[in-house]
Structure 1
């Protein structure tokens, strides 16, 4: 794109273009040229509108009333977009562009490198996994970074948007004009001077980037063409911001909004307010992560005598270091700190050279997005990071199962099953006389003095309390060490699962408790029963024999019947005792089996209702923690 200025025509004195302008100035009522062909000079040169920016008048905010009258008379038609102040002559010279719409230039979108793409994908996954666990305010910054990264990626990758920011009276607009080579932004003693952001583009294809900043076409400019200026800063889009300490609220809103969208920032400070607390606390310190895309320029060094400029510059570096901003010294990446005078031009060439190298690298947009990801990750650190190992240990799971087993009375059920097995063994292998005596004792035992048995309601209340205590304990152990939102999610999952758990455990205790009917008998029981029956028969035979001898039916012989009776009387209890000893092992195994079944049933119910939901929350946290590690670790 080419811009034709009044200075160009002055240098070409005597050419037909100059005669045309002179005639137009001499006769204001003359009809202005309507298109480029009428305004062309003899060598065929003409200017084009940059990126369709001619949709509105583009005169600078500082245009004088004489310029307005010239426009009203139609001298320049609608092509005025800039003016330049010649300090040597004091005259006004203008950059004129043809208003014909030009074909939009082809621009390549921004391409992020592999690590940055990986970090953005991880951040997107992180936000998606966390939406149901974290509030929208916590994820707002991460969502904004993703939106801005996506929006910037669709725009030009050949342009770098750099904002010039500063306080009132720092001379940022003067520096803006010095870099552009034309008086685009108004300067003066009136405060605030810059009321709205002004954009200046050194090449075509930046219209979409400027539109993203919300800068209207009337505030878009082009620099004064020079021999090496265009090539040195090719691809630069410079934005002059209002004062960040302006008394007008909307001015500060413009600054905050655009600073969040640009690729880099040039902070302009002056010797009087370079240590301003507002600048350091509100802007520089929070943007410390953006050190690689920031420039800090000490302006107005012409006001400092002798070595005062170096002293102020050293103090400025010290303040930036205290703000946590890495300084780009000795080849290290970081913020570039320069001293210059926009008024005298001292140091402006150095800034132009450094800025040209910075723009030529075309790495500022990706660096800016990477720094934004770092800041978003740092703000999310409290809700994702933990300094200890989290989760449910095997010991915690076993203790939870033991508490549920105690709640359903698994141990008592096993003991009851063991006693039932032993009673069955006693009935099968015991002597009839001992069983009769026990029956008589049980029947004749008085009920007074016994402790009252607990009611079913009391047992159910105790079981419910034990279940609730078990759930609270496992939830506290599972959430220990987790960030607050995830710990709360784990506890809520445990509480939801515990609803209806006592009732379910009661049903399990009935189904999986002591089986109905008689316990199974081992193979030796029939032999023991036959032996016990034989002992009883021997007692009867011996008794009948003695009775027959007494009544005289049988011949006297006391030895044999007495021996039979002694064998029967002693053998019966001996067999019963032997069977009891032999029954202890099977009875114990039978009780343990009953206890195991009930424990497994209770543990399965607790696992399905409480442990699995808690484990799912812990798994989700591990997933987001892994994604957070990708977001943070890939950038370090």
Structure 2
């Protein structure tokens, strides 16, 4: 028996006899998990660019097809960063598939880029082991009527150096073979590693588990179907349809065509193509990328040469591994699409921001504060421009009120509760508006950001309301004094009005003294002038007060509006700092994550 060893692994050109000829590496000796290339970096905003342990760093350029490595590297880096940015927002199972793709991509790219691992898969009795032997040129895999015939994967490598790849697949040394060598050392299918799998429809669960495990790790797969089971629902629903995105690394061969009379083979082949099209598998016809569909007979050898030529070209391109990884990335991105694509333009509209500000202004009582400021300004005008006798009376009333005053009552509990409810409702409304159209996980994160930011907001608004209730009537003009003792500003015509009011009072006093002098006889009698002076003062004082009150309406209204606006702006600034800014930060984070998702998929997302 002739044997060729490769890294302590034996290959034999004879069928497997059931016992290893020398100690072999156990299946558990698979390649160790990636360290530098691992996806679980543990940081939220960590960037993949420039880090050691690049997913493709360990894969040296080797032959044709490496020009796509740069694009694949960029997509893998984007996927790794996407997972890192999303870990605190998404549940672990959601990102598990993307993590597996990154781990397997790192493991595959660290191994030989010269080899292409192709699995031969098929149902019971489809003749896949016969095809495996026909491609190898020597009976390496058992064939026969006993089912299942193949109980464990068998590997055949056309080129040395594939031990690491076979270790990763968990294929022990006793199941590794070499094909029949050609004349003069000619080795067609250079770099091919062919794997004969157990039946995917085997009655033994362990066989199906091995098929699923190996199919997830190989670079390409040859699906062998026969005229009886080519339309089997299990094959199409469990394997072909889910792997539709892997069409470029897929061969579908219709075996046993020698059993079909006349043009029946073409009819079955056309029906097979129709089924593949319904599965979403692109067919590589007319030079287009896609699955290769061929009819053949592994028993008679018809069509095996065409399959060998197609495999030789496929393996020679050295692109299968990159295409498989790219297809896996596509599949992972498709599963994550509902998590990252928005259904509408994201962000807070100006109308939502204005509505939030309106509700906070209502909660803090901005309108009431403005009305109070307007009344305070009007009272100041009346006090300054009123008649002295009226001012004296008001001073007397104020003194009486001061002696009988009681401590100011606290706001009713129901009013305070209502204001707090308004603030909570405003926060919920703006959170819902910001989360509208976002994927569920990110929408929930936005709402939570709004809720966390609202903690302490009612107390802050209460402080603003208390500040607005000070004697300065809740506001002041720019440049005027501030504090509890500050007074509303006075327009320029107030001194003139005060002077006019003083003149009216002086006329009343002078007229009264004149009349008094006439009564006691120290002044010559003359009633006309003093009476006229008194009447002028008595009538002119109220007229001046009325004119000042009318003139003060406009400035008082503007002063109240300015006080309301300042309190409203203060409440809006408080709400923006505590609620809107955290919400905007969360939306910015989502935009950043979505950009990474676009890099992974290479397509635009809705709502961009």
* Aligned counterpart, 2:361: 405
Q: Structure 2 stretches of 5 or more lacking a match?
A: 25-57, 402-408, 475-482
* Aligned counterpart, 2:126: 170
* Aligned counterpart, 1:516: 484
Q: TM-score normalised to the size of structure 2?
A: 0.85
Name the CA shift for 1:623/1:229 in 2 (closer, same or farther; >3 Å): farther
| Aligned-residue offset at 1:441 | 9.5
The 8 Å contact of residues 60 and 219 in structure 1, kept in 2 or not, is answered as: no
- Asked if 1:549 is matched to 2:505, the reply is no
Matches within 5 A, 1:23-34: none
* Aligned counterpart, 2:17: 63
CA offset digits 1:89-147 (Å, max 9, x no partner): xxxxxxxxxxxxxxxxx995775522222211111111111111111111111111111
Name the CA shift for 1:216/1:633 in 2 (closer, same or farther; >3 Å): same
Name the CA shift for 1:228/1:306 in 2 (closer, same or farther; >3 Å): farther
| Aligned-residue offset at 1:454 | 9.5
- Asked if 1:610 is matched to 2:579, the reply is yes
| Aligned-residue offset at 1:608 | 1.3
- Asked if 1:422 is matched to 2:341, the reply is no
The 8 Å contact of residues 58 and 217 in structure 1, kept in 2 or not, is answered as: no
Which SS does the other structure have where 2:222 is aligned? strand
* Aligned counterpart, 2:36: none
Which SS does the other structure have where 2:425 is aligned? helix
| Aligned-residue offset at 1:250 | 1.0
Name the CA shift for 1:189/1:228 in 2 (closer, same or farther; >3 Å): farther
Misfit runs of 4+, over 4 Å: 57-62, 77-80, 106-112, 435-445
| Aligned-residue offset at 1:387 | 3.0
Which SS does the other structure have where 2:7 is aligned? helix
| Aligned-residue offset at 1:60 | 6.9
* Aligned counterpart, 1:338: 294
Q: Structure 1 stretches of 5 or more lacking a match?
A: 6-46, 72-76, 81-105, 446-452
Distance 1:431 1:567 in 2: 13
Matches within 5 A, 1:502-513: 502-511=458-467
Work out the number of aligned pairs and report it.
Answer: 548
The 8 Å contact of residues 108 and 156 in structure 1, kept in 2 or not, is answered as: no
| Aligned-residue offset at 1:567 | 1.6
- Asked if 1:362 is matched to 2:330, the reply is no
The 8 Å contact of residues 266 and 296 in structure 1, kept in 2 or not, is answered as: yes
Matches within 5 A, 1:94-173: 108=60, 113-173=69-129
Which SS does the other structure have where 1:499 is aligned? coil
Which SS does the other structure have where 1:200 is aligned? strand
* Aligned counterpart, 1:263: 219
Distance 2:60 2:545 in 1: 99
Aligned with 2:527 (options 558, 561, 577): 558
Matches within 5 A, 1:293-332: 293-332=249-288
Q: Relative to structure 2, which stretch is displaced further, 390-399 or 134-143?
A: 390-399
The 8 Å contact of residues 259 and 265 in structure 1, kept in 2 or not, is answered as: yes
Distance 1:192 1:369 in 2: 31
* Aligned counterpart, 1:466: 422
The 8 Å contact of residues 408 and 509 in structure 1, kept in 2 or not, is answered as: yes
- Asked if 1:196 is matched to 2:165, the reply is no
| Aligned-residue offset at 1:522 | 3.4
Name the CA shift for 1:79/1:257 in 2 (closer, same or farther; >3 Å): closer
The 8 Å contact of residues 417 and 591 in structure 1, kept in 2 or not, is answered as: yes
Distance 2:322 2:184 in 1: 27
Q: TM-score normalised to the size of structure 1?
A: 0.81
| Aligned-residue offset at 1:496 | 1.1
* Aligned counterpart, 1:225: 181
Distance 2:244 2:593 in 1: 26
* Aligned counterpart, 2:558: 589
- Asked if 1:484 is matched to 2:484, the reply is no
Distance 1:635 1:436 in 2: 78
Instruction: Please report the RMSD computed on the Cα atoms of aligned residues, expressed in angstroms.
Output: 2.7
| Aligned-residue offset at 1:457 | 1.5
